[in-house]
Amino acid sequence: MENHTFTNRLIHESSPYLQQHAHNPVDWYPWGQEALRRAIRERRPILLSVGYSACHWCHVMERESFEDVETARLMNDHFVNIKVDREERPDIDRVYQTAAQIISGQGGWPLTVFLTPDQKPFYAGTYFPPRDRYGRPGFKRVLHELAKLWEDAPEQIEELANEITKAIQEEIRYNPREITGPAVAAGLPSTAAIRKLKRAYDPDNGGFGTAPKFPNINILNLFLQRSTTQPELLQIVTRTLSKMARGGIYDQLGGGFHRYSTDARWLVPHFEKMLYDNALLASLYLDVYQETKDQEFRGIAIETLDYILRDMTAPEGGFFSSEDADSEGEEGKFYVWRRDEILHLLGEESGDLVCRYYGVSQEGNFEGGTSILYRDIDIEELAKERGLNTEKAKHLLEDGRRKLMGVRQKRVRPGRDEKIITAWNGMMISALARAGRILGEERYTGAALKAAEFAMANLRLEDGSLRRIYKDGSGSIPGFLEDYAYLTAGLIDLYETTFDYRWLRESQRLTDLMIKLFWSDEKATFFDSPDDRHQLFLRPQNPVDESFPSGMSIAARNLLLLSTIRDERGDDDSIRKVEILLGRYKHDMEQNPWGFASLLSVADLYRNGVTQIVIVVGDEVQESQEARSRMAWLKSNELLRVVNDIYIPGLVLLGPPPKDLNDPELPEVWKGKTSVNGKSTVYICRGFSCSTPITDAQELRQYLKNARVRMATT
């Protein structure tokens, strides 16, 4: 048993991040009524600290300040101290990140905000060093001065907090300049927004902007979707993904992506690994593989998903949220190598070859003479340089990689945050289901199914609503908009892979519940939280993308896709909400395509139309509805293989109808669609018209190819 001098209330929390602070001398509270009532009762300001378990600078501030007894005494004497895991409470983080931007012009983590007793912010920053340095005030000095200011001039602070709160309300509620409803498509932003984004493209290194450089998955998805009509955008996407895959931001041994690159050429990452990055990037690499047939992109998708299944999957089937940047107190220590170490492990000849391929030098490219692995040279060029045939070079490199991976697995691993987040699990269900469909890999389909079953049993409550977090058998935080939107999207993808109607039915049920809980006719938008149960002074709503598409954009996309399956009344209602959102944020999409790339993607789908493909089985499957017969058909059907082989933005893929074709409750989309001459048959519909039935795989491929050409010329 480990003995601790201090223990605070966070010891009772399930969040690994909060538990990391449970033995600080700081008198920490979790966010809740106990802390908020104490602040009001004692007229004491609140010190709010927000972070997450994989955050490097969060750990640094803990070591320097929160573990320091003198600093803790200042905090305890003058403030009610509240610690929040941003992954548990994205609503709190969103509100006070906005405050930090308004107050200091900068947000990030750790987030440090000082509030009046009624939660209104009056001072904010991110990381504070213990003493003045890096151009930042020392944390103890900040504590002293703010405590004295609160004691001497509380009215002045209250006045300032009220002004900041008004600014937050204006910013976070995104009051639109105009709200338009039907027929909004003609005025939606398009070419100008793409031009703005293209200006930030880095043609040398791929990606957008300089350092630090993030994957910007939202923009890449928009560009890929738009590349069907603007082919030059595909080059931007492929160059970026290729550069990332060869850089240090990608784990060259174990697969999977780190959070971001601290430099412009993707070499030195911030080493934390997030579930959402890897889910969304795996999906993007799969899409680009579909479009280009480039085996490099296929391989990166596979390695990334295999990393998740190996290192980030709970035994019950859900997915853990992140891995830390640090191990043994040092950032990146688990991942970096020394040249002498590799030569000793692999021998001089093989070791030198591996070092050349992965850019490992004697002086190193990281701290203390260590090297981050990246792909410095193509295998063909390396083989020629060393006088080897390509196959021999590949064999030596793969053998070296396998041995290095074996040694690395024995190192002290970075910490892993094992809470299971509903939204992020929805993203990974999507990625795995799509990998199962596109690559024909049953192990990915099986993992997606297991995760979905886990979600239905543990993330869905008895009343059908969702929880945000599951950890150690419990989770009391109600789900947010993004949880409903992303899990719904995952179940839609799972249906399109398995054609098991229950996943489509559940996605429709969750969408109906999402509208009930989060949509406001009065405000003409989705809110992020269901009601006032989250104890914030305002109810936030956020259409802006962050590291992943906003929950609002995914909700709108789901509505657009599912509208093609619902009855006429549901159709109209879903489309009306999409039109309202696109009209409401039209100006924002024009002015800030960076933050609205995902909503721009929805606008494109609305404008160009969803592609609906219905596959009706032939006599070979009609006679049996057993699951094994259906799965055998899924694997062998040539028509389905053609569909899975082609990148189709806004695809709604529907399999055999769930009921008798004459059933009056059968959704309209299946009615009248029967097999032709006993053969499996495809119907392709866009808008309000469908193709003639197609039974031949080559004819189907040509039809879809021609459809792309038609779309590009309209």
59-68: per-residue pLDDT in tens? 999 999 999 9
pLDDT over 90 at 282, yes or no: yes
pLDDT over 90 at 223, yes or no: yes
pLDDT over 70 at 126, yes or no: yes
Q: Would you state the pLDDT for residue 116?
A: 96
Per CATH, 9-172 and 216-327+417-608 having the same topology is answered: no
Take residue 575 and report the two structure tokens written for it.
């489309």
CA atoms within a 13 Å half-sphere pointing along the CA-CB vector of 212: 11
Pairing state between β 46-51 and 80-85: parallel
Give the span between the Cα atoms of 89 and 481, in whole angstroms.
12
Q: Would you state the pLDDT for residue 569?
A: 39
| More confident position, 537 or 470 | 470
Closest to 564 measured CA to CA, from 658, 671, 685: 685
Among 156-160, 357-361, 521-525, the range scoring the smallest mean pLDDT is 521-525
Closest to 527 measured CA to CA, from 86, 31, 177, 90: 90
Q: Would you state the pLDDT for residue 538?
A: 82
Confidence of residue 656 (pLDDT cuts 50, 70, 90): confident
Confidence of residue 564 (pLDDT cuts 50, 70, 90): confident
Give the span between the Cα atoms of 150 and 152, in whole angstroms.
6
Q: Would you state the pLDDT for residue 70?
A: 96
For the chain, what is the mean pLDDT? Answer: 91
Confidence of residue 135 (pLDDT cuts 50, 70, 90): confident
Domain ranges of the chain: 9-172, 216-327+417-608, 335-410, 611-713
Cα-Cα-Cα-Cα dihedral sign, residues 638, 644, 648, 652: positive
Q: Would you state the pLDDT for residue 174?
A: 56
pLDDT over 60 at 273, yes or no: yes
pLDDT over 60 at 308, yes or no: yes
Q: Would you state the pLDDT for residue 623?
A: 52
Amino acid letter, 505: R
Closest to 172 measured CA to CA, from 101, 104, 229, 239: 101
pLDDT over 80 at 534, yes or no: no
Cα-Cα-Cα-Cα dihedral sign, residues 298, 300, 507, 577: negative
Number of helical H runs and strand E runs in the chain: 28, 20
Q: Would you state the pLDDT for residue 707?
A: 76
Please report, for residues 269, 304, 313, 472, 580, the alpha-carbon distance to residue 310 in angstroms, rounded to integers and kept in the order given: 22, 10, 7, 20, 43
> pTM, whole model, 2 decimals?
0.93
For the segment 688-711, the average pLDDT, to the nearest whole number, is: 84
Q: Would you state the pLDDT for residue 691?
A: 86
Q: Would you state the pLDDT for residue 476?
A: 83
Q: Would you state the pLDDT for residue 566?
A: 67
CATH 1.50.10.10 fits 216-327+417-608, yes or no: yes
pLDDT over 90 at 473, yes or no: no
pLDDT over 50 at 570, yes or no: no
Q: Would you state the pLDDT for residue 468?
A: 96
Question: What number does CATH give the domain 9-172?
Answer: 3.40.30.10
Residues 6+ away with beta carbon under 8 Å from 249:
215, 257, 258, 260, 261, 266, 267, 269
Percent of the chain with pLDDT over 90: 76
Among 43-57, 303-317, 405-419, 656-670, the range scoring the smallest mean pLDDT is 656-670
593-642: per-residue pLDDT in tens? 999 999 999 999 998 889 999 998 877 555 555 555 566 667 778 999 99
361-396: per-residue pLDDT in tens? 999 999 999 999 999 899 999 999 999 999 999 999
pLDDT over 60 at 706, yes or no: yes
Beta strands in 220-318 (DSSP E): 260-261, 269-270, 273-274
pLDDT over 80 at 257, yes or no: yes
Give the span between the Cα atoms of 143 and 138, in whole angstroms.
9
Give the span between the Cα atoms of 646 and 704, in whole angstroms.
8
